[in-house]
């Protein structure tokens, strides 16, 4: 929210592919050029920040800016890359605007990996990964992340559980079964957890019983009210980051 204390007047922050180094000239993608020129009304000489998920954050000066093309001269690194180590989020795809909310907010909250999972009551079984990836990039640019979360192809819940890494606990958000509050089970760093939130309408009873009885799973509660899928995802990620993650 508060952009006041930014040390230099950077006019935009952009995710780019390719390496970043001092003195390098970089061509932006046509849609980035259009955004700088038409939406943000920048021009040659304006300064932007650039990151690629690997080489840290760099200061760059716009050398030339047309309607569909832009060249940026890289100056110096302004922030070092730090190893990405957020929690994972396993979620059942919901309808468009609520799915968008999950992707954007999870990115802001530092999720490392987004795994769409098909459950018995999942409404939206096809997921446009390109669209979701564009949303993670936009959110990462906005929230000043240095990397972009990974997004997996959707897979079925049984498959997910059977190929799950043994050292990563899956916190299954479940209500009405008296599970302990999420805040009470955080015995390790947030980066070693994943959160699982079910579809609107909840897991089928047999499905829930099965998943919470897997050795990887810990059932957790999120208070006395019935949260929507996206609210549960945002709340659980917040608690992980605040109590055992990078908010400490």
Positions that interact with a second copy (CB under 8 A): 1-6, 97, 101, 104-105, 108-110, 142-145, 173-177, 181-183, 197-205, 208, 221-229, 231-232, 234-235, 238-239, 241-243, 246-248
Closer residue to a second copy, CB minimum distance, 60 or 198: 198
For the bound state, the minimum distance from the C-beta of residue 166 to a second copy, rounded and expressed in Å, comes to 26
Q: Which tokens sit at 145?
A: 């992340």
CA distance 76 to 213: 51
- Order of strands, edge to edge, in the sheet holding 47-51? 13-15, 47-51, 57-65, 70-79, 25-27
Closer residue to a second copy, CB minimum distance, 69 or 150: 150
For the bound state, the minimum distance from the C-beta of residue 176 to a second copy, rounded and expressed in Å, comes to 4
Closer residue to a second copy, CB minimum distance, 7 or 23: 7
For the bound state, the minimum distance from the C-beta of residue 74 to a second copy, rounded and expressed in Å, comes to 23
For the bound state, the minimum distance from the C-beta of residue 229 to a second copy, rounded and expressed in Å, comes to 6
Closer residue to a second copy, CB minimum distance, 105 or 169: 105
Closer residue to a second copy, CB minimum distance, 65 or 93: 93
Closer residue to a second copy, CB minimum distance, 127 or 227: 227
Residue 118 has a CB neighbour count (10 Å cut-off) of 20
Residue 161 makes CB contacts below 8 A (sequence gap 6+) with 170, 211, 214, 216, 217
For the bound state, the minimum distance from the C-beta of residue 24 to a second copy, rounded and expressed in Å, comes to 26
Closer residue to a second copy, CB minimum distance, 70 or 190: 190
For the bound state, the minimum distance from the C-beta of residue 134 to a second copy, rounded and expressed in Å, comes to 17
Residue 104 has a CB neighbour count (10 Å cut-off) of 20
For the bound state, the minimum distance from the C-beta of residue 115 to a second copy, rounded and expressed in Å, comes to 17
CA distance 86 to 242: 12
């Amino acid at each position: 929210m508060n952009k006041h204390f930014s040390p230099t007047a950077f006019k935009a922050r952009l995710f780019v592919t390719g390496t970043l180094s001092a003195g390098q000239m970089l061509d932006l993608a046509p849609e980035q050029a259009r955004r700088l020129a038409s939406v943000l009304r920048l021009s040659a000489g304006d300064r932007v920040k650039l990151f690629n998920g690997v080489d840290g954050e760099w200061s760059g000066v716009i050398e030339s800016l047309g309607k569909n093309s832009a060249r940026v001269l890289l100056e110096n690194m302004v922030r070092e890359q730090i190893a990405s180590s957020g929690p994972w989020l396993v979620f059942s795809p919901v309808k468009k605007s609520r799915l968008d909310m999950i992707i954007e907010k999870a990115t802001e909250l530092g999720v490392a990996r987004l795994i769409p999972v098909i459950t018995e009551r999942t409404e939206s079984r096809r997921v446009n990964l390109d669209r979701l990836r564009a949303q993670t990039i936009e959110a990462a640019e906005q929230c000043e992340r240095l990397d972009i979360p990974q997004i997996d192809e959707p897979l079925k819940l049984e498959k997910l559980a059977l190929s799950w890494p043994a050292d990563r606990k899956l916190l299954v958000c479940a209500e009405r079964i008296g599970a302990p509050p999420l805040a009470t089970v955080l015995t390790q760093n947030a980066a070693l957890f994943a959160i699982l939130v079910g579809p609107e309408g909840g897991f089928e009873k047999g499905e829930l019983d099965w998943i919470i009885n897997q050795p990887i799973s810990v059932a957790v509660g999120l208070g006395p009210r019935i949260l929507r899928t996206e609210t549960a995802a945002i709340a659980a990620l917040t608690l992980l980051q605040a109590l055992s993650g990078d908010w400490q």
